[in-house]
Amino acid sequence: MPTESYQSKPLNQAAKGIENNQYKVIEAAPHGLNITHAEELNKTLISFLKNGTSTRL
């Protein structure tokens, strides 16, 4: 496990460059959050897909 805090890093750096993004932090979620935090991740993704404003591919 990394010992440094991720709170000190600009976690939303990539999101700032993406038009119509929705930035959300799932607390304590590891790299495999699709398994460990599946319910919260799925709710977030479904909400984004339903409410997304971009129609471009």
What are the residue ranges spanned by the domains of the chain? 6-51
Q: What per-residue confidence (pLDDT) applies to 57?
A: 42
User: Which one, of 17, 41, 13, lies nearest residue 27 by Cα?
Assistant: 41
Reported as a single tens digit per residue, the pLDDT across 4-31 is 555 555 667 877 888 877 888 899 999 8
Its pTM stands at: 0.62
**Residues 25, 11: Cα–Cα separation, whole Å:** 9
| Cβ proximity of 26 and 43 under 8 Å | no
